[in-house]
Structure 1
Amino acid sequence: MGVQETSDFSSRGAPWGTRESLVDKTHEMGVDFDKFIAGVAADKSDTEMAQELGVSEKAIQHFKNHFFRYGINDVQGQD
């Protein structure tokens, strides 16, 4: 039985994120993360979510952009 070839492994790097998680971002703004996700799931407008969560529409747009672009966490590297 031989040693496994190192070419079987990716060289993409370590599995950690380079961006702050969406959970952390919403927490910093005083937004309930679960309510934010429920609003996205219910396809609520930015205006409606901003009013319900007590932040600006721009903040909601930023959170949604992060969610749809990177997900909850931006983890890079090997799985």
Structure 2
Amino acid sequence: MCTLGQCMRKTKKASRLVKVQNRQNLMIPEPRSLNLFTRKPPRSVPPPPSGLHVEAGLPSPLGAPSTWEFEG
């Protein structure tokens, strides 16, 4: 056990330390992970519907015909 004055000093020191640590945590950014998929794993994307053909390339300018072709 400690006297009231000793306990008050200890708690003041402890609370001061906690404040400093919190402030330092705000200043130091969280280290970035080198693996890009650790936070958000890749989603499973279903294949395109059959009969739909998409040509790979740059997007067409406005007014130009689209590159989507329907086979059928």
TM-score by length of 2: 0.22
From the two aligned structures, give the one with the greater helix fraction: 1
Q: TM-score, normalised by structure 1?
A: 0.20
Bigger CA radius of gyration: 2
